[in-house]
Amino acid sequence: MKTLTASRMERCIGCHSCSFACARLVHKLLSWNTAGIRIASSGGLSTGFVAKVCMACSPAPCAEVCPTGAMRGRKKGGGVIHKKDLCIRCGKCAEACPVDAIYLDLKDRPYVCIHCGRCVEFCPHECLEMVESDERRDS
């Protein structure tokens, strides 16, 4: 299975095209609160940007704490599958995420990267890429 990695963030200009592509194309909404990838300053104007994205943990801590099974770990490659109809919006998944990559919108609905790669093609500086999960590099 391929997973998303932010392997070239030194090229990032902070345009957020990846976040908007995710929100619009994957989650069918256009809001900062509905993207599975977030771009943030890494500490100041001259220090660049970081991508906050699901690290495809295996086992996934967010899935382990989900009381309804709405978040469940993928069988291969790590990461999670989110079943919206089972979600009770308790926020436990977001609290359990070790990299703060699950975002709750204003109605406490969780949004997490599903490693689909839709954001990759919208990054004008090729900061993101899809890699086989066993080849994954630290970002």
What are the residues whose beta carbons fall under 8 Å from the beta carbon of 94, sequence distance 6 or more?
62, 100, 102, 103, 104, 110
Total structural domains in the chain? 1
- Distance from CA of residue 82 to its chain's centroid? 12
The domain that holds 40 is classified in CATH as: 3.30.70.20
CA-to-CA distance for 112 and 118, rounded, in angstroms? 13
Domain range for 9 = 2-135
Amino acid letter at 127?
C
What are the residues whose beta carbons fall under 8 Å from the beta carbon of 65, sequence distance 6 or more?
92, 93, 95, 96
CA-to-CA distance for 81 and 19, rounded, in angstroms? 19
pLDDT band at 42, cuts 50/70/90? confident
pTM, entire model:
0.84
Query: Using one digit for the tens of pLDDT, what is the confidence trace for 88-128?
Result: 999 999 999 999 999 998 888 999 999 999 999 999 999 99
pLDDT band at 74, cuts 50/70/90? confident
pLDDT over 50 at 10, yes or no: yes
